[in-house]
Chains A and B, each alone.
Chain A
């Protein structure tokens, strides 16, 4: 059983469209991170959310942490081909030091 469930797993859209990807869990977390990974490279941190209901914006990307701190969403406005990649959510354990990732959402934005 995955601690973090991401949906959808795959998304292929045209340039200019909007999209939302989700990261859900039955557990409560003190913080959640979103990473983006481009082909042939390691993941790179986009944002960390820590407060229930928190909304953070990074240019055309909007991240939200659920009120109960069990889920998060990533919304992209007017997607561009440069947004293509694998989007991963991750949570850390303050007790064990582990960082666990969801299975990822593969996004393809066609010109």
Chain B
């Protein structure tokens, strides 16, 4: 099993450009989520999905869109990149739709995004 994979690993964008960060998992997990990580801020939840066709907003959803057409894939779209979106982005998945007790989150290796 590859686990959680993310592409690309690095990306540089100009302000106003759009792009999609890819995330895929091969563990048949229901729950998938996107976080951004900034210095001193820990991991902040952007969007999450409890199953195919179901998505919801996290703590910092503005400027980002998601969709979940299959169990395996959960892409994150930046419609018009801004310098404030410079960050490291992590995708994660877990078996249950309701993470908590005995429910391990598996993280991808991250995408380092710079917006100029």
User: A residues touching B (Cβ–Cβ < 8 Å)?
Assistant: 6, 9, 30-31, 33, 35, 40-45, 48, 50, 88, 90-94, 96-104
Contact = CB atoms under 8 A, between A and B. Distances in A.
Given A41-B109, A42-B107, A88 B101 contact: no
B101 A99 contact: no
Nearest to A99: B99
Contact of B31 (A9, A88, A97): A97
Interface string B83-96: 00000001010100
Given A97-B50, A97-B98, A100-B59, A92 B42 contact: no
Looking at B92, B100, B104, the one whose CB has the most chain A CB atoms below 10 A away is B100
A96 to B, nearest CB: 7
Interface of B: 4, 31, 33, 35, 40-45, 48, 50, 56, 58-59, 90, 92, 94, 97-105, 107-110
A30 B40 contact: no
Contacts of A50: 101-102
Given A41-B110, A97-B50, A31 B59 contact: no
A99 B56 contact: no
A2 B110 CA distance: 23
Contacts of B50: 97
B45 A100 contact: yes
Contacts of B97: 97
20 contacts: A9-B40, A33-B105, A41-B110, A43-B105, A44-B107, A50-B102, A92-B98, A92-B99, A93-B98, A93-B100, A97-B97, A98-B45, A98-B48, A99-B94, A99-B100, A100-B45, A101-B45, A102-B42, A103-B40, A103-B42
